[in-house]
Amino acid sequence: MDIEQLHPILDLIEQHGLSVILLFLIIFWLRPKLDRMWSIVLEMRQTIPDPSRESVEELVEINSKIKECLSRLMYDSKCQWAQLWQFHNGAYAIGKSRIPFMFLSLTNEVCEDGCREMRVELAQLPLSMFDSFASDLLSRSVIVHQYTEGIQQRKMEKIMHEYGANVAFMQTVRDEDGKITGFISAVYTDKPSNNEFTKEYVTIASQRVSAILAS
């Protein structure tokens, strides 16, 4: 850059001061980065449902219907816990990959008298804790999971053992497009007397809850 090219810059500095010019250059440099950040924020806001769309009354009614389904499942299957687990968004990773986080929470539960509620503890669990289990969910058959003791016991199995759980029967809950949004679980402290009946009851409950959540 020669002297002639510097004259306009020097004139600006003389007229407005060096600090103003530097501020202008910083804003000019940051503008693309700020635009990018704002576009990410807007996109994230679009993925988060607006809570104002559903009134408290509607949510109470939905939860009441789900509780009724779970109570019926517990009565029919003679399980100790009847549960609805739901997947939910946890925003995105920082960086260009922007890989979405996914979590799993026990949102609705009924249990027998004398059994501890699990719902208080089992929330916001990273999906990475359930890699193999998540793969099993892709099938439309009922999953039967035995919580076995041992050195290789996984974190979730240890948690379930603390509650006295021995085996769980699980079936997916799906939205109107057939996508998995969660699953129904019938949990026992001991093995049920008839596995086939239990699978049928869990399947019926998952269909009922899917219809409730899709309505």
pLDDT digits (tens, 9 = 90+) for 49-87: 555 556 788 888 999 999 999 999 999 999 999 999 998
End-to-end CA distance of the chain: 68
DSSP state of 1: -
Whether the Cβ atoms of residue 101 and residue 126 lie closer than 8 Å to each other: yes
How far, CA to CA in Å, does 131 sit from each of 4, 100, 156, 159, 171?
Answer: 65, 15, 12, 17, 16
Q: How far apart are CA 26 and CA 4, in angstroms?
A: 24
Map out the domains of the chain with their CATH numbers: 3-47 (no CATH), 55-214 (3.30.450.40)
Burial class (CB in 10 A: 0-12, 13-18, 19+), 206: buried
With cut-offs at 50, 70 and 90, classify the pLDDT of residue 151: very low
The residues with which 87 forms a beta bridge, in sequence order, are: 104
The DSSP secondary structure of 82-135, one letter per residue, reads EEEEEEEEEEE-SSSS-PEEEEEEEEEEEE-TTSPPSTTT--SEEGGGGHHHHH
Which residues lie closer than 8 Å to 156 by C-beta, 6 or more apart? Answer: 125, 129, 130, 133
With cut-offs at 50, 70 and 90, classify the pLDDT of residue 152: very low
pTM for this predicted structure: 0.69
How far, CA to CA in Å, does 158 sit from each of 35, 153, 170?
Answer: 46, 7, 18
Task: Return the C-alpha torsion angle 55, 60, 62, 64, nearest 10.
Answer: -170
pLDDT of residue 97: 57
